[in-house]
Amino acid sequence: MSEYIVRHTDVFMLWVGALCTLGLYSMLYKENRIYRLFEHLFLGLSTGYLVAQQWVDVLQPKWWKPMWEEGRWHFIFIVIFGSFYYFIFSRKGSWIARIVIGFFLGVASGQAFQLFANDTWPQIPSSFKPLIPHPAHTVMVDGKETLIKELTNSGALNNGIFMITVFCVMMYFFFSFEQKGLFVKGSAKLGRWLMMFTFGAIFGATIMARLALLIDRMDFLLNEFGPKAFGSAQMMFAILLAMMGLVLYLALVKDKKTPEEGEA
């Protein structure tokens, strides 16, 4: 039996992949036990994979082997220090947990400075943009010739929109005085609208990302699984169409006759 599985691993994997995909997409009809089964299967698999990989790729080669085989006995202190965390469950010994938590808080705070310097800070000067169109030219900076790129009319317009957006959004988040008066209130309101546009763009991008995942699974079913399991992508497409027809029948005919609980 095991030899048979080894010889047909590829086909076996494709079937498992297809059944898992269809099982999870059965949620689109409605919450059901098949979906729950595959959901738990995925959760268990990914957790098990993670635990095994942490040991195989991280703990065994980077900690266990050096400590046990290469004589770096001091690596044992990592476990002792790390296990201090568990004192958080003890009323008397909770102060011990604070030592290790404090250590990591200190490390994280130090890294936050570097985060600001390399991540956020460069974005502040880059938000000061030229607004008047100009041709490419050179200027002397600290005794060196520096090229200033051309700014076209459309580029200047882009920069103008950027500056207005930065100003209005900052005005919206300015809470040091009451926002009243046409200029302050108007720009804050415009800032809110501009943020709404941004959230809309992010939401649109999210839909695009989710669609990409759906397309990948459909490609798997039609072009990877279909030809191996049923001989052609067209055959798999016909099976998918039949499934879609069944979903439509269940949704439009059967569910209408038996309204769900809670519906009057």
Q: Which is nearer to other proteins, 80 or 124 (CB)?
A: 124
What are the distances in angstroms from CA 221 to CA 16, 19, 30, 162, 228?
11, 10, 21, 44, 10
Residues near other proteins, by CB under 8 A: 28-29, 49-50, 53-54, 57-58, 61, 107, 111, 114-115, 117-119, 122-123, 126-127, 198, 201-202, 205-209, 211-219, 222-223, 233-234, 237, 240, 244, 247-248, 251-252
Nearer to other proteins, 150 or 219 (CB): 219
Provide the phi-psi class of 185: left if phi over 0, else alpha when psi is between -120 and 50, else beta. alpha
Cβ-in-10-Å burial (0-12, 13-18, 19+) of 258 comes to exposed
Q: Which is nearer to other proteins, 19 or 50 (CB)?
A: 50
Residue 176 CB-density burial (10 A; 0-12 exposed, 13-18 middle, 19+ buried): exposed
Strand 144-148, strand 137-141: pairing = antiparallel
Q: Which is nearer to other proteins, 11 or 50 (CB)?
A: 50
- Rank residues 66 and 133 by Cβ distance to other proteins and give the closer one: 66
Beta strands in 42-200 (DSSP E): 137-141, 144-148
d(CA 190, CA 161): 12
C-alpha distance from residue 149 to each of 136, 139, 141, 211 (Å)? 5, 11, 15, 39
Residue for token digits 């400590």?
Answer: 67
Sequence-distant (6+) residues with CB within 8 A of 97 are 84, 85, 86, 87, 88
CB of 98 to other proteins, least distance (A): 21
Question: Closest approach of Cβ 177 to other proteins, in Å?
Answer: 28
Tokens representing residue 91 in the block: 């009323």
Query: In this complex, which beta carbon is closest to other proteins, that of residue 11 or of residue 201?
Result: 201
Cβ closer to other proteins: 93 or 101? 101
Quote the least distance from Cβ 145 to other proteins, whole Å: 20
Q: What is the nearest approach in angstroms of other proteins to the Cβ of residue 204?
A: 9
Q: How far is the CB of 185 from other proteins (least distance, A)?
A: 27
Phi, psi of 179 (to 5 degrees): -85, 95
Smallest gap from Cβ 112 to other proteins, in A, equals 10
Q: How far is the CB of 127 from other proteins (least distance, A)?
A: 8
